[in-house]
Amino acid sequence: MANLKEVKERINSVVSTQQITKAMKMVAAAKLRRAQDKIIQMRPYSQKLTAILNNVSAGIEGGSDLVYAEKREVNNVLIVPVTSDKGLCGAFNTNIIKAATAAINTEYADKKITILPLGKKAYETFKKREYSVIGDFYQVFSDLTFDVVKDAAEYAMGEFEKGTYDKVVLVYNEFKNVATQIVRNEQFLPMEKEETDEVASGTNVDYIMEPSRDYIIQELVPTSLKIQFYKAVLESNASEHGARMTAMDKATENAGELLKDLRLMYNRTRQAAITNEILEIVAGAEALGGE
């Protein structure tokens, strides 16, 4: 049985760890509120912009000639895994890395793969595995704004337009609630027409366009793609804080359970030590009385 000093040191260590996990949970909760507000505000805007784009481009002649919708033989694939900069968020980062790796080894096994990581964890992991990694944009979460994320989106769009990549794929966590994040493997380029509520219901809005329908589409498509890219990053950001809050809450609970066991062990060890001392005193007293 461990001595009292060892058990006491373990109790102090667990108490300190529990205080840290409690503080991290509170910080994650505060950040989650802001991140959740951002993504909730972004979703309706992104959905409406996509609906307008689909409606406007539905009847355009030569709509399939849009460079970002060009479908070609897939030989070079750009994969964009979105992780966090820090750990201690459960399986958040692991799930993304597993999903991206699974896609590389199965769907794109015979393709040339390039990784555009967003988040330090993705950058470090794929760099260590000796993939071709573009390391110019992985620090987006140090200053998460549309202008910062837009640079990464413009790079992917520009290289697709040049023909460097035939397909661009986003791998990220979609925020559902604090305890649930859904891993998405989403084709970013070439564009795929999304089924919106307006299209599904057969509603066709007649827009008045100046200077022309073609010009509007050429301006609207890049904006829509950048918004879609930014939305994926915001989803991942909210998911990260939700995952970290859940992980730290669970860690705090586990520390509490461990403290109960350690305190029980401490009391038992202390009682055993007291019992041994009493027995020694009794035995000594009997020995003296026998003389």
Q: Which of 35, 82, 89, 262 is catalytic?
A: 89
pLDDT of residue 201: 54
Q: Which of 119, 118, 97, 106 is nearest to 77 (CA)?
A: 106
Residue whose tokens read 């837009």: 150
Catalytic residue status for 154? no
Residues whose CB is less than 8 angstroms from the CB of residue 273 and which lie 6 or more positions away in sequence, other chains included: 4
Residue 2 pLDDT class (50, 70, 90 cuts) = low
pLDDT digits (tens, 9 = 90+) for 176-219: 988 899 999 999 998 876 655 554 555 556 667 677 777 777 77
Q: What percent of the chain has pLDDT over 90?
A: 61
Give residue 285's pLDDT band: very low, low, confident or very high (50, 70, 90).
confident
Q: pLDDT higher for 66 or 236?
A: 236
Output the pTM of the full model. 0.84
* pLDDT the model gives residue 128: 94
pLDDT value for 169 = 96
Give every CB contact of residue 144 below 8 A, 6+ residues apart in sequence: 233, 234, 237
Q: Domains in the chain, ordered, with CATH?
A: 4-18+249-283 (1.10.287), 22-247 (3.40.1380.10)
- The single-letter code of the amino acid at 4 is L
Question: pLDDT class for 96, splitting at 50, 70, 90?
Answer: very high
- Alpha carbon distance 121, 175 (integer Å): 19
> Which pair of tokens denotes residue 290?
């026998």
